[in-house]
Amino acid sequence: MPVKQPKKLLIMNILDILRKYSDEEHRLSQKDIAEILKTEYDMTADRKAIRRNILNLMDCGYNIEYSESIRMVPNPKTGVPEESYLWSDFYLERDFTEALEAELVEFTDGVDRQGRKGYFRSGLDAMRRSTHPLEKFETAKPLEEYRLVILGSPVWAGRCASPVRGLLKRRGQELSRVAYVLTRGSDKRYEEVYRQMDSYTAQPHLLEASLRSGSVGYVFWRDKFIQDVQRYLAEQT
């Protein structure tokens, strides 16, 4: 029997659903997600809440793909038809770990970053370069023993995300072979963020990618990065 969960876990449950049930061949509508939330998590959420939390996940760097359509909806006050954008067919991409057969490790500082308040807190933390203690996470071996560590970060207010900065502050000197993947919500590539991150590492980064999910060049730059990593690793053997 499902255990009733607090609303603050909604964003994590939606991420869990996308991981378990979605891929390019199995896409989910907001209605699908709502039904799984109800049956497996004993949690109810309307479509607006689901869409808002998916946007928050995308802002945090998760590569969630979707389709967008336009429908005409009467304005409730004037009755005049207006354009309304409908999102559907969501799925979570798993490009790097699958293509590179990489170990995936997630880390967080445990700060509540949901909703509008969490969004502004994240931006403020990034602008102030504030960090919080990271929650415990484990890797298969010490960071310095990996042939390459790929560090992913969403761009927050023109800077790397605060949890990423927290990791770099505490363990950046363990990273002598590192690559960066930035995810962003605008057309700007934010290449200055690479230099910000390099200021904490033992050696400058070797490879980089700046990706905007859904953009025209997304697939090209994603695949180029994967090829660059594969080439680098082949040269190390």
In degrees and rounded to multiples of 5, residue 95 shows phi and psi of: -60, -60
Indicate if 225 and 115 belong to the same structural domain.
Answer: yes
Number of folded domains in the chain?
2
- pLDDT digit of tens for each residue in the chain (237 aa)? 445 677 778 998 999 999 889 987 889 999 999 999 999 999 999 988 999 899 888 877 677 888 877 777 788 888 888 777 777 889 887 667 777 888 889 889 988 887 778 888 998 999 999 999 999 999 999 999 999 999 999 999 999 999 999 999 999 999 999 999 999 888 888 999 999 999 999 999 999 999 987 777 887 898 899 999 999 999 987
Please state, in angstroms and rounded to a whole number, the distance separating the CA atoms of residues 142 and 134: 17
Domain ends where: 58, 74, 93? Answer: 93
Indicate if 53 and 83 belong to the same structural domain.
Answer: yes
pTM, rounded to two decimals = 0.67
Is 2 domain-assigned? no
Indicate if 121 and 185 belong to the same structural domain.
Answer: yes
Domain ends where: 93, 125, 152? Answer: 93
Residue 34's domain spans which residues?
Answer: 7-93
Indicate if 175 and 64 belong to the same structural domain.
Answer: no
Please state, in angstroms and rounded to a whole number, the distance separating the CA atoms of residues 177 and 206: 7
CATH number at residue 14: 1.10.10
Indicate if 113 and 218 belong to the same structural domain.
Answer: yes
Domain ends where: 31, 63, 93? Answer: 93
